[in-house]
Structure formats: C-alpha cells, structure tokens
Amino acid sequence: MNGKIAIVDYGMGNLSSVHKKVQRLNAHPFVTSDPGELLTADKIILPGVGHFRKAMNNLEELKLLPILNEIVIDKKIPILGICLGMQLMARHSDEGNVNGIGWIDADIKHFSIRDKLSFKVPHMGWNQVKFMKESALLKGIPEFSEFYFVHSYHLIVNDQSVSLTETKYEYPFISAIEKENIYGVQYHPEKSHESGEKMLQNFIQI
C-alpha cells in the first residue's frame, strides 16, 4: 500500500533526504508538524538527529506527543523511527536524563567503549546488521547487510522480544526494534543504498 507517508518535522535534523528517498519509491510523502495533517497519514516516519532532551522538548512544545500516541497506540498506524527518532520511543535516555515517549521498554545509554583507539565515538560509518527475528521490514534484505550509522548513544532493551537487528561495535547492541506497528532503526536507511531503499520500500508496503 503506497499511501500518504507523513514525515514528522519537529526541528531535529534535515528531513529532505528521507523525503526524497521515499518519493523515489512511488509513495506520497509530506513533511509536517501539524497534528491535523498527521491524522490523515497512512504511515508515519519519525526521523531525527541531535540531542534527546531538545527533541522531547520540541515534541511537547509542538503538542505532537498526544497526537502521536493517538495515531500509534490507539489507531495502530505503522510508524518508523530513524536514528534519534527510534531512541525517542524508549522510556528514558541518559542523554539529558530525560524520559522518552515510552512505547518501547528500553533505555538509551552512551557507548561504553574500552578500546577508544579502535572504536571512536560517535559510531560513524558502515556496519553490519544481524537479524534477530523475521520481519516484514527485513523482507528481501540479506542478513549482515551494511547500513550507515551516526550515533553516540544506543538502545538497551528490557524486553528482548522487540529486538529486530543487532550490530557489533566493540560489543553487540540492538540496532533495530519492532513491536506490533512500531518499528525503529538506529541506522539511516535513507543513506544506506540498496539495503536501505529496500527497507523503506518494505515499510511503505506494510
């Protein structure tokens, strides 16, 4: 179903690359911060780059949290969080010591790297993803495909059933989650060439 895809604009990061990539896949993306417009969407993409506390403050100031809860929790509209957008779905982040939206039983922690010469923070560049379970989001993507990452914090899940992909950067961490209609990826599918394009196409067709 290639319906209307709302890309949430809450002042955190450049949304044009996500918009262009989704548009290339014959979907109908639109960028908005308007709660009424979000209600018209068939699917939601929540991108984001930046500081967790600032992101939560922006969502609150724009009065987007109640409408996102209505869309995602009550109406069960599929949502894809990308990078910071996925992290916001967690209960709490150490970045700014602030609560998240709370859709996922997980916390956001800074990388605890021991070998700082070999593993720089932020984790930036291409890395493999290991599949933890089957998912419509992963359909047609070879396991251990490489995706593009840029982040200093990562997800620690308390409910392992939501774990979708795992990535290793000195140690393993959960790099994607799935819970019913809620999907999130730490990597940037819009910057990840064929595998990323296939993932976005899969989401559009869910």
- CATH code where residue 100 lies: 3.40.50.880
Q: Which two tokens stand for residue 17?
A: 């690359």
Backbone torsions φ then ψ of 152, nearest 5 degrees: -110, -15
Report the pLDDT value the prediction gives residue 3, as an integer from 0 to 100. Answer: 84
Backbone torsions φ then ψ of 89, nearest 5 degrees: -75, -15
Those residues with Cβ within 8 angstroms of residue 4's Cβ, 6 or more apart along the chain or in another chain? 28, 29, 30, 40, 41, 42, 43
Q: Alpha-carbon distance 50 to 206, whole Å?
A: 28
pLDDT along the chain (206 residues), means of 10: 88 92 94 96 97 98 97 98 98 97 98 95 98 98 98 97 98 98 98 97 97
Structural domain tally of the chain? Answer: 1
> Is the pTM of the predicted complex or chain greater than 0.95?
yes
pLDDT tens-place string over residues 63-81 = 999 999 999 999 999 999 9
Q: Which residues are tagged catalytic?
A: 83, 188, 190
pLDDT tens-place string over residues 38-65 = 999 999 999 999 999 999 999 999 999 9
Q: Which domain holds residue 88?
A: 4-205
